[in-house]
Amino acid sequence: MKKFYLTVLAAGMTTVSFCQKSFILSHQDKKGFFAVSAGASLPVGLFGSCAPGEEQASMAGRGVSINLSAGYRLIGPVGLMIKAEQHRNALQTDALLTNVYRSEQDVWTAKADHWSVTTIMGGPYVSIPMGRFSLDARLLAGRAMAVLPNTAINGNIGDVNMSVQTTGSESWATALGGGLSLKYRLGRSFSLNLNGDYTQALCTFNNLTSKAKTTNGQSESSYYSSNRPVSVVSVSAGVAILFGNHYRPF
């Protein structure tokens, strides 16, 4: 019986020691992270505008965003991070037909590729711990690559069939952004993240053309350029791998 009690006591002490170790490690400060997130991409300003007659209206709709990020705290709560993000936003094709003069009997359709915006940015961030939660704030700058989508509208005016096509283009521009992340620590090496980010860039698209075709022939414009402000808000959720600490007791 005595041996039984000693065995139970030893097992209990081992369990307590293991739980204590897990508790300490799950609260141990981590200096760095790798994170992946996905969510919604919401165009703002002229990027999402469909205003008739506005030359810089880009007619982007809601889309999806995916981002990868990594950071490391260097001095107290302050560190540096890098972030890559991809946005894909549908173009609101109904807006392409707004300025088309047509009667009720005329039938017109429109189609377009998606907007694609890729950013790579880096900068400082601050992490504020709140128990198992932490709040990160960041200011970033870098480069953005945006793809202006091809568009096509087709229809008729009376007995005359007509189509108008515009070519897309790529543009690189300086990107600025910032955001917040709320993190919940799951254990010693993982956390769940809820992120909100804003990104903007002013892109110039060159070598654009428009081509119109009718049953009577076709015409094509000369090359032209277009300035488009790209601004998006992304709301995403994901997971982070935590690493690095000052003390390693276990």
Domain edges within the chain: 31-243
Q: What is the pLDDT of residue 248?
A: 44
The residue to which tokens 């094509």 are assigned? 220
Q: Would the pTM of this model clear 0.85, i.e. be above it?
A: no
Fold of 31-243: Porin (2.40.160)
Q: List the chain pLDDT tens, one digit each, 250 residues.
A: 555 444 544 444 444 443 344 444 444 688 999 999 999 999 999 999 999 888 899 999 999 999 999 999 999 999 999 999 999 999 999 988 887 766 677 788 899 999 999 999 999 999 999 989 999 999 999 999 999 999 999 988 777 888 999 999 999 999 999 999 999 999 889 999 999 999 999 999 999 999 988 877 888 888 999 999 999 999 999 999 999 875 543 3
**Strand ranges inside the chain, DSSP E:** 32-43, 60-75, 78-91, 108-112, 115-130, 133-148, 151-157, 160-166, 169-185, 190-208, 210-214, 217-220, 224-243
